[in-house]
C-alpha cells in the first residue's frame, strides 16, 4: 500500500432530507478530515421528491469526495443501502442515516474498532431520545420474536449504522435477495464482529419516513427471510387438530349409537367448523406469504436502477 492513504467510504441513503444534508455533510467532514484516511461520502438519493438531489449535485460539484447516486425512484431504505454498498470503494465502508440520528461524532470510534482488527462493527442503540413508547415497545417485541423464531441473533436496538471491512462488503455483494433485512444478513455473515453502543438523538429536521405499515413489512421481511417456523407452526397445528378431531369423531359415534340424544350436537359441530376453518385460513395465509415472497424472488429483477451518478471522479473518467 506504500504511502497511499487507505480509503473509508461512508454510505448514506437519503429520502426527502433537504433540511438535513448540509449540516450532516459538515459534521462528517469535521470528524473525518482530522483522521489519517481519505474518505468518500456516498449519498444514495432514494427517489426524493424535494430538493435533495439538487443539494447533492451541488455538494458533489464542490467537493470531489462526495458522490451522489440518484435512484430512478423510491426503492426503500434497505435497497438504497445495498446500492451504496455496491458502489463503495473503501477499505472500510460505514453505513449511516442522514438525519443525525446516527451521530457523525461516532465515526472515529467505529474506525478505531476496525483498526483493532474487527471486520464488522455493529452499533446498538441503547436509547432514542423522544421516541414514543409505542415504537420502543413494538421494536423490542420484534427483536424478541425474531431471535426466538430464527437461528440468527439480531441485537435488540440493532441499527443500520455500522462499519464493514472490504472483505465483508465483497461477501455481502453476492447476496442478491430482494426482501432484505440487512441487520440479519450481516449478523449471519460471520467474520470478526463487535458491538458498539450509542444513544440516538432526535432527528435533526423533518420527520421519520417509517410508517407503522412500513415497519410491519420490514419486520415480516426479517422473520420470513430467516425463519421457516411459521410454516412449521401451521403443520404442527394441523397434526394436533387432526388428533383432536379423532377424539371428536369418537364422541360423535358414541352419541349416535349408544345414546338417544343425536340431535343436540349442533353446538359442537358449529364450534369445530369455525375452529378448523379459521386454522385452515391461517395456514393458507402463512403459505401464501411465503409463496408471494418466492414469486418476488424468482422474477430476478434488478434490485434497483440508477437515474444518474454525479461525482467529479465520474466526470473525469468520461473525458
Ligand atoms: N430513507 C430512505 N428511503 C426510504 C425511507 C428512508 O433512504 O424509503 C432514509 C432516510 O432519509 C434516512 C434513513 O433512511 O436517512 C432512515 O430513515 P428514517 O430516519 O425516516 O427512519 P427512523 O430513524 O425513523 O427509523
Ligand atoms: Mg431517523
CA distance 220 to 31: 36
Return the C-alpha cell found at 216: 410491519
- 107's CB contacts (< 8 A; 6+ apart) are 10, 28, 31, 32, 35, 94
**C-alpha to C-alpha distance for 63 and 40, rounded to whole angstroms:** 10
Rounded-to-integer distance, Cα 284 and Cα 288, Å: 6
Q: What is the pLDDT along the chain (319 residues), one digit of tens a residue?
A: 556 789 999 999 999 999 999 999 999 999 999 999 999 999 999 999 999 999 999 999 999 999 999 999 999 999 999 999 999 999 999 999 999 889 999 999 999 999 999 999 999 888 766 777 887 788 788 888 878 877 777 777 778 999 999 999 999 999 998 888 898 889 889 999 999 988 888 878 888 877 778 878 888 887 777 777 787 777 778 778 777 777 877 777 787 778 777 666 766 777 677 778 777 877 887 888 888 888 888 888 899 999 999 998 766 555 4
The verdict on the CB of residue 76 being under 6 Å from ligand 1 is yes
C-alpha cell of residue 168: 465483508
From CA 304, how far away is CA 230, in angstroms rounded?
29
Instruction: Specify whether the CB–CB gap between 82 and 164 falls below 8 A.
Output: no
Closest residue CA from atom 3 of ligand 1: 77
Three-state SS annotation for the chain: CCCCCCEEEEEEEECCCCCCHHHHHHHHHHHHCCCCCEEEEEEEECCCCCCHHHHHHHHHHHCCCEEEEEECCCCCHHHHHHHHHHHCCCCEEEECCCCCCCCHHHHHHHHHHHHCCCCEEEEEEEEECCCCHHHHHHHHHHHHHHHHHCCCCCCCCEEEEEEEEHHHHHHHCCCCCCCCCHHHHHHHHCCCEEEEEEEECCCCCCCCCCCHHHHHHHHHHHHHHHCCHHHHHHHHHHHHHHHHHHHHHHHHHHHHHHCCCCCCCHHHHHHHHHHHHHHHHHHHHHHHHHHHHHHHHHCCCCCCCEEEEECHHHHHHHC
Query: Is residue 208 in contact with ligand 1, taking CB distance under 6 Å?
Result: yes
Please state, in angstroms and as integers, the Cα–Cα distance from residue 25 to each residue in 129, 162, 186, 219, following that order: 22, 18, 26, 30
d(CA 137, CA 128): 12
Which ligand sits closest to the CA of 44?
1
Give the separation between CA 27 and CA 7, rounded to whole angstroms.
18
The number of the ligand 1 atom at minimal distance from the alpha carbon of 200 is 23
Pocket test for ligand 1, best of 13, 18, 69, 96 (most atoms within 8 A of CB): 13
Minimum CA distance residue for ligand 1 atom 13 = 97
In the chain, what are the domain boundaries? 7-209+304-318, 229-298
Global pTM value:
0.80
What's the 182 CA to ligand 2 centre distance in angstroms? Answer: 16
Rounded CA-CA distance 164/100 in Å is: 20
The response to whether residue 46 sits with its C-beta less than 6 Å from ligand 1 reads: yes
The Cα 230–Cα 150 span in angstroms is 10
Q: Which of 207, 209, 219, 303 best tests ligand 1's pocket when mutated (most atoms within 8 Å of CB)?
A: 209
7-209+304-318 has CATH 3.90.550.10 classification = yes
Scanning the structure block, which residue is given the C-alpha cell 480509503?
7
Q: Per-residue pLDDT tens for 269-292?
A: 776 777 787 778 778 878 888 888
Amino acid at each position: 500500500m506504500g504511502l497511499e492513504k487507505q480509503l473509508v467510504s461512508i454510505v448514506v441513503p437519503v429520502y426527502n432530507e433537504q433540511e438535513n444534508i448540509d449540516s450532516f455533510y459538515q459534521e462528517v467532514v469535521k470528524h473525518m478530515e482530522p483522521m489519517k484516511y481519505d474518505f468518500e461520502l456516498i449519498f444514495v438519493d432514494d427517489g426524493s421528491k424535494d430538493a435533495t438531489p439538487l443539494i447533492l449535485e451541488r455538494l458533489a460539484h464542490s467537493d470531489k469526495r462526495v458522490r451522489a447516486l440518484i435512484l430512478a425512484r423510491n426503492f426503500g431504505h434497505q435497497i438504497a443501502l445495498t446500492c451504496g454498498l455496491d458502489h463503495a470503494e473503501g477499505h472500510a465502508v460505514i453505513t449511516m442515516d442522514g438525519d443525525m440520528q446516527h451521530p457523525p461524532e461516532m465515526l472515529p470510534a467505529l474506525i478505531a474498532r476496525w483498526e483493532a482488527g474487527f471486520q464488522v462493527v455493529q452499533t446498538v442503540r441503547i436509547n432514542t431520545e423522544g421516541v414514543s413508547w409505542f415504537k420502543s415497545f413494538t421494536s423490542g417485541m420484534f427483536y424478541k420474536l425474531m431471535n426466538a423464531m430464527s437461528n440468527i441473533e439480531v441485537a435488540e436496538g440493532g441499527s443500520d449504522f455500522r462499519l464493514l471491512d472490504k472483505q465483508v462488503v465483497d461477501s455481502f455483494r453476492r447476496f442478491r435477495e430482494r426482501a432484505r433485512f440487512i441487520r440479519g444478513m450481516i449478523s449471519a455473515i460471520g467474520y470478526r464482529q463487535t458491538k458498539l453502543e450509542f444513544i440516538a438523538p432526535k432527528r435533526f429536521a423533518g420527520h421519520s419516513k417509517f410508517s407503522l405499515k412500513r415497519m410491519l413489512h420490514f419486520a415480516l421481511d426479517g422473520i420470513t427471510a430467516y425463519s421457516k417456523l411459521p410454516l412449521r407452526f401451521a403443520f404442527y397445528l394441523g397434526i394436533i387438530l387432526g388428533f383432536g378431531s379423532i377424539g371428536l369423531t369418537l364422541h360423535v359415534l358414541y352419541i349416535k349409537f349408544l345414546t338417544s340424544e343425536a340431535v343436540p350436537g349442533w353446538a359442537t359441530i358449529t364450534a369445530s367448523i369455525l375452529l378448523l376453518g379459521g386454522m385452515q385460513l391461517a395456514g393458507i395465509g402463512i403459505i401464501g406469504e411465503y409463496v408471494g415472497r418466492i414469486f418476488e424472488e424468482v422474477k430476478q429483477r434488478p434490485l434497483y436502477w440508477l437515474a444518474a451518478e454525479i461525482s467529479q471522479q465520474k466526470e473525469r473518467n468520461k473525458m
